[in-house]
Amino acid sequence: MKLPSLKISAWIAVAAIIAIAGFYFYGGSSSATKTVSAKVTRGAIVRSVSATGTVNPVVTVQVGSYVSGPISAIYADFNSPVKQGQLIAKIDPRQFQVKVNAAKAALANAKAQLGKDSADMVYRKVTYERDAALLEEGVISKDAVDSAKSTYEQVQAQLALDRANIQQQQANLEDAEVSLNYTNIISPVDGTVVSRNVDVGQTVAASFQTPTLFLIAKDLTKMQVDSNVSESDIGDVRQGLRADFKVDAFPDRMFEGVVGQVRQAPITVQNVVTYDVVVNVENPELLLKPGMTANVTLVTARRDNVVRIPMEALRFAPRGSPIREGNAVDGAAGRGHARVWIPDGRSIKPVSITIGLSDGSFVEMLEGPLREGDLVVTDQIKTGPKSTGNTSPFVSGPRMR
């Protein structure tokens, strides 16, 4: 009988089909692994903090008015250079001049009263001395002498009152003259008028709050950038750091400055906390103007001419190996141990190094066997055909499960 032979042939056919299917499902989808490498370089590593700020004069003085009244004249305009003590505006002085004249008249009246009472005192003194002599001769009574003495002492007291009244009227005159002098608006510093807020004929009311008439920048050749640094970055910022910034008016020019102050007062806007970092900058060409927006880069750490390793090399781990721990780089300039992989013929091998400063793209190698130009592995990729999930030559359409 040929039945067993038929069964054997059927089993051979099934095994062949399984082998072909396995080849397409497994062997056909296999691919080679290729490594991606990058070179170890030498150069600078700069760690920085980015912030946005506003260009302002170092010293800005608000010039106001102590008295009220209409503006009668203006002697300074926008961008006018002014000197300390220079008259820049004037308030109508007539009402204050009237008060000065009244104070002078009151002072003159007080002095005249003193002269009158002084003359009366002379007469009262003579009368008292004469009555005292007549009392010794028994011509007049003791009461008449006492009355003359009392009148004389009252006149002496009146003289003291007149002198005090003169001092009071003198103070009133000085107060009126000070108010009159306040009608002259003068510049308190040498500088440049940045803003003028009044015109001739405008009435200034200084009853409860001093109005600002002029804004004067003391020295526009020295400016400062008030930048807002987030609380997550403020720990690396300190006085004396170098700061580079750009403004929209000069997009191709980089301005340099130095951190002059890290202010402790927090600025909270919608639960976001920032700190004001003041950057001092020289402005000899007067290119920077008050109010410009500056994009600031604060250099918190820098290393020049060091061996640099790409950060991708520290994040790389071969397939199948556990994720490495301890490759995080200290944010400032600390030391840490890490491991990178380098090509070794057709395979790769690990190398231990000591790392330092990082700028997000490169990390400084403090100690290790790598040199400039060496290759480090940053990734592994598969080459060749990929399995699509429908590789069987016997099934068309979606694979049935």
List pLDDT tens digits, range 358-387: 888 999 999 999 999 999 999 988 775 554
In this predicted structure, the answer to whether residue 135 has a pLDDT above a threshold of 60 is: yes
**Burial grade of 185 (CB within 10 A; 0-12, 13-18, 19 or more):** buried
Q: Quote the CA–CA distance of 368 and 373 in Å, as a whole number.
A: 14
pLDDT number for residue 15? 57
What is the model's pLDDT at position 324? 46
Q: Phi and psi (nearest 5°) for 9? A: -65, -40
**Mean pLDDT throughout 266-271?**
93
Residues 6+ apart with CB under 8 A from 77: 193, 196
Token pair 């009133």 is found at: 172
Encode pLDDT of 185-221 as tens digits. 999 999 999 999 999 999 998 877 778 999 999 999 9
Q: How far apart are CA 255 and CA 70, in angstroms?
A: 44
AA letter at 165: N
Calpha distance 209→193 (Å, rounded):
22
- What pLDDT score was predicted for residue 3? 43
Nearest to 292 by CA among 251, 231, 242: 251
Residue-wise pLDDT for 72-97, tens only, equals 999 999 999 999 999 999 999 999 99
Q: State the DSSP H helix or E strand holding residue 15, giving kind and residue range, or none if neither.
A: helix 3-22
For the segment 44-62, the average pLDDT, to the nearest whole number, is 93
Count of CB atoms situated within 10 Å of the CB of 251 = 9
Residue 380 pLDDT: 84
Q: Is 85 exposed, middle or buried (0-12, 13-18, 19+ CB in 10 A)?
A: exposed
| Distance, CA of 158 to CA of 166 (rounded, Å) | 12
Q: Tell me the mean pLDDT in the region 139-148.
A: 90
